[in-house]
Amino acid sequence: MSARRSGCFVTGTDTGVGKTVVSRVLIRWLRARGVDVGAMKPIETGVGAAGPLDAIALAEAAGRPDPLDDVCPLRFALPAAPTVAAAAEGRDIDLGSVERSFARLAQRHEFVVVEGAGGLLVPAGATASMADLALRLKLPVLIVARATLGTINHTLLTLEAAGARNLDVIGVVISHPEGALSAPDRANLGALRDALGERVIGEIPPLAAGAEPDFWVFLDLGPFQGETLAVHVSDEGIGIAPEHLPRIFDRFYVIEAGEKGVGLGLYICQGLVEAMGGQIWVVSEVGQGTTFSFTLPVEGDAAGPAAT
């Protein structure tokens, strides 16, 4: 893994995969660690009277430090691909304005999270794509992949497209925008995880409408802070219900009244890991099992591959 980065471009394997949720999680995590973060949604379509809602959500996560015109310089009403939405208004997509807005944000902030529109090959002009925009902004990409059927093809094609354009890929975050998975989807997702290996750096679990994950639980953000060692411990037990996951590391929290123990074990583990500069989180699905993971910073040349 590389040293701390100055920004990233969040893309998806499809539209509606959860890019905004992941971007907000990343912004909140960085701000919680004292990083000055700017947010950007360069092009947003489907913009109504309430304004560019994705851009506003990103700006809110960043504390609204910047003018909305810099956060989202290009806005179109039609909910379609950017070039289609622009053509419907008789307008062209001016990537120069995007670059100027990004330059202003980069001057103000230590790190800028840029969320693209759709996937890497979505047109961003007559001869440009979102991949070209990431290259012009000189940003590595973070790929958000949906968990349901079709994700293997979509994710591997996105990685292939990024590689063909010499884009630096930070990793893949798996998202569950459609909610709980069917048994075939779970098996399919397991095959994707196996195929990606260490390229999977996080997973956003199924969420209720409007809910967001606790950033310290669900996303392995080690790639944003230098060399790390990642450890993952899994079981095939009964799993943990979604309503318990946000509190699993709370002091004295027990899942069922009358259970043995005082709810200090995970609280102490979290304290120890975070005291050493790491993160700890859990991903679980009822009936499928639980994976506890943690990362720790590694100094010098001691970093090796993630342990499983």
Catalytic annotation present for 19: no
Distance CA 84, CA 263 (A): 54
Instruction: Name the phi and psi angles at 171, rounded to 5.
Output: 165, -175
Which has the closest alpha carbon to 150: 142, 158, 141, 161?
158
Q: For 56, list phi and psi in degrees, rounded to 5.
A: -65, -40
- Tokens 């497209």 correspond to 161
Give rounded-to-5 percent helix, strand, coil for the chain.
35, 25, 45
Cα(44)–Cα(215) distance, integer angstroms: 25
Report the Cα–Cα distance between both ends of the chain, in Å, rounded. Answer: 17
The dihedral built from the CA positions of residue 187, 188, 191 and 193, taken in this order, carries a sign that is negative
Tokens of 30: 């960085």
Residue with tokens 């953000």: 221
How do strand 43-44 and strand 169-175 relate by DSSP bridges? unpaired
- Which helix (H) or strand (E) segment is 187 a member of? helix 183-196
CB 225 within 8 A of CB 26: no
| Residue 49 CB-density burial (10 A; 0-12 exposed, 13-18 middle, 19+ buried) | exposed
Active site residues: 41
